[in-house]
Amino acid sequence: MPYNIIKEDLNGIKLIEPKIFSDNRGYFFESFNQNDFEELGITETFVQDNQSSSKLGTIRGIHFQYNNPQGKLERVLRGTAIFRIVDIRIDSPFFGQYREYKLSEENKLLLWVPKGFGNSFSAESEEVVIHYKCTNFWDAKSEISILYNDKDIGINWNNESPKVSDKDLNGISLKQWKEMNIKI
């Protein structure tokens, strides 16, 4: 199999290492193969691919959709990013907990984030280019941003003056999300 799950967290998140074929010309690897991913337990159909670019010091997230929730298969094409993935399933024993994953163009790791998790990352290099496959279409009406610096989550971003969007600065708290009582 051309993939190896090197870590599983919070009952769903998977950090995946692809098999890389390198020689003096460069490298090759499969970034996605539906049959192989089904063997890893990722059986969802992907319907949309996205790519983003972020400058050093940027923090994006914590984002998710409550209607039409998305699973995401993420990888870094350029630079380095630290992803912080938060369990936002209100009935989960891991609710409000987060895990960190460092993805880079060097390590070529893939991160599977299933439905029910808030997604965020920080750009740790001059430029970070991220590609991600989604299991559902973007739904602006049901997108939520939880405050990136919510004290109840307690993420240490290691950044004294982050670049953050207005949407993320004006997000809701984890407590407010729980009070909405929406199950994903």
- 175 pLDDT tier (thresholds 50, 70, 90): very high
181: left (phi over 0), alpha (psi -120 to 50) or beta: left
Task: Please report the DSSP string for 139-176 in residue order.
Answer: -GGGEEEB-TT-TTT------SS-B--HHHHT-B-HHH
**Which domain range does residue 150 map to?**
3-180
- 119 pLDDT tier (thresholds 50, 70, 90): very high
CATH number at residue 90: 2.60.120.10
Average pLDDT over residues 126-154: 97
- Give me the active site residues, please: 63, 132
pLDDT digits (tens, 9 = 90+) for 67-90: 999 999 999 999 999 999 999 999
pLDDT digits (tens, 9 = 90+) for 19-33: 999 999 999 999 999
Strand-pairing partners, residue 76, are 130
Average pLDDT over residues 41-51: 97
pLDDT at 67: 94
Average pLDDT over residues 99-125: 98
* % the chain with pLDDT above 70: 100
Task: Please report the DSSP string for 74-113 in residue order.
Answer: EEEEESEEEEEEEE--TTSTTTT-EEEEEEETTT--EEEE
Cα angle 147-139-17, degrees, rounded to a multiple of 5: 70
pLDDT at 1: 81
Average pLDDT over residues 102-126: 98
The number of distinct structural domains making up the chain is 1
pLDDT tops 90 at residue 57: yes
